[in-house]
Amino acid sequence: MDRSSALGRGLAAAASASLVGLFVLPLVALFVYAGGRGLGVAAGDPGFRTALEFTLLASALAVGSGLLVGIPLGYALARFRFPGRRLLESVVMVPVVVPHLVVGIGLLLLFAPNSPVGHLAGALGIPVLDATAGVVLVMVYVGAPYVVLTSQLAFRAVDDDVLEAARSLGASPTEALVTVTLPSAARGILTGALLMWARGVSEVGGFLILAFAVSPSPPWSGPTTSTASVWIYSYWGIDPTAAVGASALLVLVALAIFLAVRGFDRSGLSGLVGRWLP
Amino acid sequence: MSALEIESLALERGDFTLGPVSLDVALGSATVLLGPSGAGKTTLLRAVAGFLPTSAGTVRLAGASIGSLPPERRGFGFVPGNLGLFSDRRVRQNVRYPIGLRGGPDVEGRTAHWLERFGLTALADRYPRELSSGERQRVAMARALASDPKALLWDEPLAALDVESREELLRLLADLLETERIPLLLVTHDPATAFALASRVVVLEEGSVRFDGPPEALGRAPLDRFVARFLGYANLFDAEELGRAPPSDLVRALTRASGPAGVAVPNEAVRFAPGPGAGASARVQAVRWSSAGWTVALRHGGLVLHRTVPGELPPVRVGDEVALSVETLALKPLVASSTGATR
């Protein structure tokens, strides 16, 4: 190995180590500060438990909605050529670059009771401000781009030869989509769903504006609450120990969900073939 | 009786025009589409399979016109160039796919039958990425046949296979033609495949049929440069090249044997011996090894002739002077391309 390549490797290793340190050390600090006691306090706090429950419900609804609209859009962007496709791709990425407080303000103005859209939502009996729908809406806004992007990449990676083989083996276009394209893209879509979920759960800015305190609103029938992130933000100024404990608990829940999804991902498609797929 | 009949099939894709192409494949026989890259072989195969719209022509399979049917109802087992295996499914699940899609009794039993038929039982739980290229070809073949096709369409089955796998697959295909009595339309750019399998060869160039007939007729047909290249003639000279070369007995012999498009010198017609002697003087320009043997490039004036010798390295080195001659009776005149087609 010559000196310049040794130097290059050294710099790369140092850069990697700094970045990994930056990712991990704040979490280490969080857990060290919280300790077992902090985690216990947070777990035992009925207010935080309710906020966590609500967050899991809202994020599940948001990911479901995001998949429902994001997968078809990702598919269309990957498989069809149509005028304005490039523009649409850019528009889809707008939520990633817009500051999230601005997202909250925009959604607040859009759904204000005296605005046409707010009026329509009211008429349909769907409260948005300080309601479950508002939280879900913010989560979809900030997270759905990840579903669109990852599913677009996943659909694009499905080889035309594979689809043509499936067709000639007897699959109609719909059967080829359901039995080959979607399962082949599933891993990418799952990654997008996970990113969307993580993004939604970690959101604060949009909630502060649109849904700071969430009143009981379908399908949430619990007491008035907030998202876990807003709960932590609120308690940071009142009871830092509780806020740190809650933060550590939220990280543990997120990691548990991440590992569960990855575990399902690893078990792969094979388990579904024969039972659900031909 | 022809099981698969293609009549005057034509299509346009951008600047490329294919056809009209007519060909047929008898039951239990193979018709091979031969031609260089870009000739339209794969395009024709995909059009027959129903993946490309045609502008004219008919496709009949087992007596029924299928040109307007979608691919899944045409009754072909279509194997694309890179096989189209489901990479995230095991071998068993790949082979099971068409059987499960159709449903019916004993899906697992029928899957096991095709796995066993192609020697895949022991590999059934592997993923395609864990197989050799020859094994992947067998999976593709088993899966295609598991769909109970009336004909097989196969794009470049022997591409990227090592010699052993090629031989094995050729044996399998030949066996398949005999036992399953299925018609096979196969695309290749490799003449060896054509000669090994085909009862009929269709040579395509730039979207047009240049030759259509039994493989042995390809050698007897008037040769043009294109077909000559496919038949493995390494030495092709046109009138201009011969005219530029300094006059010699050898050049005159080649000129006399030339047709309108020049002359082809078969490998066996090139003779050389070390040192000066009877024949034209030539110098060894290169000595290369390939699976076919040692190829010696011999420069005589402005012409370079190649001779491939199987077995041991010939007793010559680059730069050596050799005595060169050609077997004049074996020389083949080349006709202009347009007259090379028999249809």
State the pLDDT confidence band at A266, using cuts at 50, 70 and 90: low
| A168 interaction partners in chain B (CB closer than 8 Å) | 49-50, 71-72, 74, 76-78, 144, 147, 153
Q: Check whether residue B164 and residue B249 sit in a common domain.
A: no
Q: Check whether residue B47 and residue B89 sit in a common domain.
A: yes
- For A220, the 3-state DSSP assignment is strand
B192: left (phi over 0), alpha (psi -120 to 50) or beta: alpha
Q: Check whether residue B190 and residue B333 sit in a common domain.
A: no
Share of chain B above pLDDT 90, in %: 37
Cα separation, B239 vs B260, whole angstroms? 8
Give the residue from B200, B226, B252 where a domain finishes.
B226
Cβ(A118)–Cβ(A128) below 8 Å: yes
Cβ(A225)–Cβ(A217) below 8 Å: no
Least confident of A55-64, A70-79, A140-149, B246-255: B246-255
Q: Residue A61: which CATH number?
A: 1.10.3720.10
Cβ(B146)–Cβ(B110) below 8 Å: yes
The closest CB to that of A162, out of B70, B84, B93, belongs to B84
**Residue of chain B whose Cα is closest to the Cα of A170:** B72
How confident is the model at residue A273, as a pLDDT?
A: 63
DSSP string, B181-204: ---EEEEES-HHHHHHH-SEEEEE
How many of the other CB atoms lie within 10 Å of CB of B121?
14
Q: Check whether residue B78 and residue B212 sit in a common domain.
A: yes
CA triplet A154, A157, A160: central angle to 5 degrees? 130
Q: Check whether residue B222 and residue B245 sit in a common domain.
A: no
State the pLDDT confidence band at A275, using cuts at 50, 70 and 90: low
Q: Residue B304: which CATH number?
A: 2.40.50.140
The answer, as to whether pTM is greater than 0.80, is no
The stretch B130-145 carries a mean pLDDT of: 92
pLDDT of B158 over the 90 cut: no
Q: At a CB cut-off of 8 Å and minimum separation 6, what does A81 contact?
A: none
pLDDT of A113 over the 70 cut: yes
pLDDT of A57 over the 90 cut: yes
How confident is the model at residue A271, as a pLDDT?
A: 63
B243-281 pLDDT, tens digit per residue, is: 888 888 889 999 999 988 899 998 889 999 887 777 788
Q: Check whether residue B168 and residue B217 sit in a common domain.
A: yes
Give me the domain span that covers residue A114: 26-266
Cα separation, A202 vs B44, whole angstroms? 54
Please check whether residue A10 lies inside any domain of the structure. no
How near does any CA of chain A get to the CA of B102, in Å?
8
How confident is the model at residue B2, as a pLDDT?
A: 61
Q: Check whether residue B218 and residue B244 sit in a common domain.
A: no
Residue from A103, A132, A109, A134 nearest A205 by CA:
A103
Give the residue from B197, B226, B255 where a domain finishes.
B226
Please check whether residue A98 lies inside any domain of the structure. yes
pLDDT of B116 over the 90 cut: yes
- For A130, the 3-state DSSP assignment is coil
How confident is the model at residue B315, as a pLDDT?
A: 85
Give the residue from B226, B261, B291 where a domain finishes.
B226
How confident is the model at residue B343, as a pLDDT?
A: 33
**Residue of chain A whose Cα is closest to the Cα of B104:** A278
Contact check, Cβ <8 Å, B72/A168: yes
Residue from A18, A148, A137 nearest A72 by CA:
A148
**Residue of chain A whose Cα is closest to the Cα of B93:** A273
Please check whether residue A233 lies inside any domain of the structure. yes
How confident is the model at residue A88, as a pLDDT?
A: 94
pLDDT of A1 over the 90 cut: no
The stretch B305-315 carries a mean pLDDT of: 86
Q: At a CB cut-off of 8 Å and minimum separation 6, what does A277 contact?
A: A179, A183, A269, B100
Q: Where do we find the tokens 């890179």?
A: B82
Q: Which two tokens stand for residue A82?
A: 């149509």
Exposed e or buried b per residue across A153-192, where buried means at least 16 C-beta atoms within 10 angstroms of its C-beta: bbbeebbebbbbbbbbbbbbeebbbebbbbbbbbbbbbbb
Is B76's Cβ below 8 Å from some Cβ in A?
yes
DSSP alpha helices (H): ranges in A45-159? Answer: 46-79, 85-92, 94-97, 100-111, 116-123, 132-156
A205-216 pLDDT, tens digit per residue, is: 999 999 999 998
Least confident of A123-137, B88-102, B228-242, B322-336: B228-242
Q: B 124-143 residues with CB below 8 A of A?
A: 140, 143
Give me the domain span that covers residue B282: 235-339
State the pLDDT confidence band at B181, using cuts at 50, 70 and 90: confident
Domain count, chain A: 1
pLDDT of A263 over the 60 cut: yes
How near does any CA of chain B get to the CA of A179, in Å?
9
Contact check, Cβ <8 Å, A172/B78: no
Q: At a CB cut-off of 8 Å and minimum separation 6, what does A141 contact?
A: A95, A103, A107, A206
Cβ(B20)–Cβ(B57) below 8 Å: yes
Please check whether residue A196 lies inside any domain of the structure. yes
| B112 interaction partners in chain A (CB closer than 8 Å) | none
How confident is the model at residue B342, as a pLDDT?
A: 36
Strand order in the sheet with B303-309: B270-274, B321-326, B280-290, B293-300, B303-309
Domain count, chain B: 2
How confident is the model at residue B162, as a pLDDT?
A: 75
A161-174 pLDDT, tens digit per residue, is: 999 999 999 999 99
Q: Which two tokens stand for residue B269?
A: 């017609």
State the pLDDT confidence band at A198, using cuts at 50, 70 and 90: very high
Q: Which two tokens stand for residue A64?
A: 């479901």
Please check whether residue A4 lies inside any domain of the structure. no
Q: Residue B93: which CATH number?
A: 3.40.50.300
How confident is the model at residue A17, as a pLDDT?
A: 93
Residue from B222, B140, B221, B185 nearest B34 by CA:
B185
Q: Check whether residue B122 and residue B206 sit in a common domain.
A: yes
